[in-house]
Amino acid sequence: GWEDPVSSAAEKAAFKLCPYKCDASDHTADAPSYCILDAWHDVMDKHDPRGQQPGHTIVQGHLFACKHFSSRGLSHHIFVLDASGSMNGSPWHTLTDAVHGYLQEQVHKKGVDCGDIVSIITFSSRGVIVFEGQPMANVVNAQIPFQGQGTDFDSGLRCAVELLSRNHHDKFAPVLLFFSDGYPNTTNSGVYLADHIVNTFERNNLMTYLVGFGDMNFVCLEQLAIRLKGAFHRAISDIDLLDTFKAISVSVHLRSGLVANTA
């Protein structure tokens, strides 16, 4: 008669598990890490309590018994700011005030010497890394140069990928805050890079927030938020923008503390 080629109890148990593999560089070829859920499991929500267990991580809807991010509550705050021509003048001043307000809220909650670091990217037709991995005290009130020209989401996210690739994920959990006041030059601008960011850095406890400024249809920015698995916020007025950045700062502080306390 037919004989099951999977003979041992351990092999049979493993055969029933999901084959999705964690591709973090921490794992060696002879000690891989696979999803610990059943083979045909439903997509797991990133906030599922099972992912909050010590030493566990949820990536792309899968649950792993491995962790690849800081558990010390330190964050790397990465701002990706639209510096295109429409932001010239008063809008740019309001945006820089909002960034400063976000950082000041972090300082108020955690202290100026909290250990967090900050990077700031501006983009228009090209992306520029203005500050990289600076202590919060160095940039809490720093001037951010304006650019002008068009709106290319790819140029900003390309710089973000560079920064995320150089981040020390075992020490700093990355927080990505993407801001724009309009449509990109092409409808799908940023989509491929957004997918790449999630596929590569979600395992590092990446938090993403996207802010649209002004009274218009932000369908492209909302699409980007979905691809980045982030929260989208709309700010119509200057006051709204200042309040939105402050509210995001509070959210980041609370979520960072949750990670530190449960890891």
- Residue ranges and CATH numbers for the domains of the chain are 1-68 (no CATH), 75-262 (3.40.50.410)
Nearest of 242, 263, 206 to residue 53 by alpha carbon: 263
The structure's pTM equals 0.76
Instruction: For the chain, 263 residues long, give each residue's pLDDT as a single digit of tens.
Output: 445 554 555 554 666 788 888 877 667 778 888 888 988 888 888 778 888 787 788 877 888 888 765 555 799 999 999 999 999 999 999 999 999 999 999 999 888 888 999 999 999 999 999 999 999 999 999 999 999 999 999 999 999 999 999 999 989 999 999 999 988 988 778 999 999 999 999 989 899 999 999 988 899 999 999 999 999 999 999 999 999 999 999 999 887 754 444 44
Q: Which residues of 231-250 are buried (b: 16+ CB within 10 A; e: fewer)?
A: ebbbbeebebbbebbeebbe
What is the pLDDT at residue 69? 59
What is the pLDDT at residue 188? 79
What is the pLDDT at residue 124? 95
Residue type, 4: D
The β-bridge partners of 63 are: 58
The β-bridge partners of 17 are: 38
